[in-house]
Amino acid sequence: MKQKYCQSCGMPMSEELYGTEADNKKNKEYCIYCYENGGFKQPDLTMEQMIEACVPFMAQKGMKESEARSLMQSCLPNLKRWRKSKITYKVVKKDEIKLVGKEIRTTNEDGKCKVVIEKLWREFSQQKLEDKIPNKINDNEILGLYTDYENKEFGHYSYMVGLKVSDLNNIPDGMICRVIPASKYYVVTVKGKMPEGIGEAWGYIWNTDIERTYTGDFELYDERYDGSENSEVDIYVAVK
Query: Per residue in 195-230, is it b (16+ CB within 10 Å) or e — as a string?
Result: eebbbbbbbbbbbeebebbbebbbbbbeeebeeeee
225 and 194 in contact (C-beta within 8 Å)? yes
Alpha helices in the chain (DSSP H): 47-60, 65-75, 112-126, 196-206
CATH for 90-239 (3.30.70.1090, 3.20.80.10, 3.30.160.270, 2.60.40.680): 3.20.80.10
145 and 159 in contact (C-beta within 8 Å)? yes
Residue 4 has pLDDT above 70, yes or no: yes
pLDDT tens by residue, 164-221: 999 999 999 999 999 999 999 999 999 988 888 888 888 788 878 799 999 999 999 9
What one-character DSSP code corresponds to residue 212?
A: B
For every residue of 49-114, DSSP letters joined together read HHHHHHHHHHHHTT--HHHHHHHHHHHGGGSTTT--SEEEEEEEEE--EEEEEEEEEEE-GGGHHH
pLDDT tens by residue, 131-148: 999 999 999 999 999 999
CA 8 to chain centre: 18
pLDDT tens by residue, 45-66: 999 999 999 999 999 988 888 8
Domain spans in the chain, listed from the N-terminal domain onward: 4-81, 90-239
Residue 9 has pLDDT above 80, yes or no: yes
Alpha helices in 3-43 (DSSP H): none
The reported pTM is 0.74
pLDDT at site 1: 57
